[in-house]
Structure 1
Amino acid sequence: MVAACTPCQAQEQAKPARPAAEHPTAVLLVLFTSEGCSDCPPADQLLSQVNGRKSVDGQLIVGISEHVSYWNHLAWKDPFSSDLYTGRQNDYGSHFALDSVYTTQMVVVRREQFFGSDGRALQAALKTELERKQILLRIDSAELRDKSVIFIYTASDIPAKG
């Protein structure tokens, strides 16, 4: 990948940098955002540009936008906000040993975090994820039961440590 390219430009390049993997990989991006945040629209746009697309190396990019509740004030409430998302972001803050959480925070596979509209940081994180040894995960079945989804899966290529 070329760091100077936007994610959409990188996705549109004609040839992948390396052959497609035998097993497709997915990279999970979580963006903490709010409709009350003036810095959030560029990050929301970056997430929408890459969500559901494949990188030039064949990674499926899965983006989740979680609207935090701490921007709700002055009798206005972000209709998409949830205290659950705020709690999840606080958990990431502890995980990354941050002094405080912020919008727009983007987290990549719980390994890296950065300002959500930083396309170069996103490209670097995607490249880093591509170089990591991947656990192969196959979903054997899924069943909806009492408002929950029950998955049965098989995992292989699990590292001995870590």
Structure 2
Amino acid sequence: MRVKILAAVTSVLAIAPLAFSGFAMAGPRAVLELFTSPFCSACPPADALFTELARSPDLITLVMPVDSMDRPGRTDPLAKPAFTDRQAAYAERRNSDMLFTPQAVINGAAEAQGSDADEIREGIAQTLNVLTVPVDAKAAGKHINLSVGGAGKAAAKTGVITVLPFMRDHTEPLRGGRSAHYANLVRDVIPVDTWNGEPFKARLLRQDFAQYDGIVVLLQAGTNERPGAIIGATRIEFAKSGRS
């Protein structure tokens, strides 16, 4: 997916207004990423756990189906190479060959078995102080305005800003009458810009995300190819007109 990033000095394109509003959450305690697959026998418990965790207002949960378990005649239509690449990049950043499903990555800095609530809780405790840079996203008319604070006391002074559009709830039919249910199912990983430790602002077109339930904005140490600790994050959900 490609999105148009509008700087404050650029002209505003003529776009029909969209029939939904957006609201952002306060700063999260942790960002939890789950790398999963419907072809992994241990993954359904992890999917269910992340559905429960998604109800916690101080957590941002993200589910990314990987294509590493796809085989000829057995492919997951929700899996994307970008998700598999992201999982592999985390392992490379940690100089680790541990690549498994279901795998949870906590704040970009710790890993856990995706179905193990205790391991995830421990990972949150280990990385509790990494989210130090304020990140904000607000829907305003035809746009989404992003704002990232300065480095301050953050350990990382440079990084990348990434947007991940998601579906709040999705059930995917599987063979044999089974189905897989996901909460906060990510549909893309979209680089926005680099960050040099100074306050940053950007403007996105809301139209680019009209088919999604919301977006997560991550400020992450490292690069897009080698993502490190997540040092700032926010989520904005789109409330469509006439929907509670």
> What TM-score, normalized by structure 2, do the two folds share?
0.47
Indicate the SS of the match to 2:122. helix
Partner of 2:132: 135
CA separation in 1, counterparts of 2:152 and 2:102?
33
- CA change 1:47–1:140 in 2 (3 A) is closer
Preserved contact between residue 46 and residue 117 of structure 1 (Cα < 8 Å): yes
Preserved contact between residue 31 and residue 107 of structure 1 (Cα < 8 Å): yes
- CA change 1:92–1:144 in 2 (3 A) is farther
Matches within 5 A, 1:8-157: 24-54=27-57, 60-130=58-128, 132=129, 134-139=131-136, 141=138, 151-155=145-149
- What does the per-residue CA deviation read over 1:59-88, in whole Å, with 9 as the maximum and x for residues that have no partner? x11111111111111311112111111111
CA separation in 1, counterparts of 2:131 and 2:97?
31
Indicate the SS of the match to 2:104. strand
Indicate the SS of the match to 2:119. helix
- What does the per-residue CA deviation read over 1:12-69, in whole Å, with 9 as the maximum and x for residues that have no partner? xxxxxxxxxxx64341110000011111011111111111414xxxxx1111111111
Indicate the SS of the match to 1:127. helix
Structure 1 runs (4+) greater than 4 angstroms displaced = 140-145
> What TM-score, normalized by structure 1, do the two folds share?
0.69
Preserved contact between residue 134 and residue 157 of structure 1 (Cα < 8 Å): no
Preserved contact between residue 27 and residue 134 of structure 2 (Cα < 8 Å): no
Which has the larger share of strand? 2
Counting aligned pairs with the same residue, the percent is: 24
Query: How far does residue 99 in structure 1 lie from its aligned partner after superposition?
Result: 1.5
Task: Report the count of equivalent residues.
Answer: 131
- CA change 1:153–1:97 in 2 (3 A) is same
Does residue 158 (structure 1) correspond to residue 152 (structure 2)? The answer is yes
Q: Which runs of 5+ in 2 are unaligned?
A: 1-25, 157-244
CA separation in 2, counterparts of 1:123 and 1:160?
22
CA separation in 2, counterparts of 1:27 and 1:50?
11
AA matched with 1:61: L
Q: Which structure would you say has the larger RCO, counting Cα contacts within 8 Å and 6 or more residues apart?
A: 2
Indicate the SS of the match to 2:71. coil
Which has the larger share of helix? 1
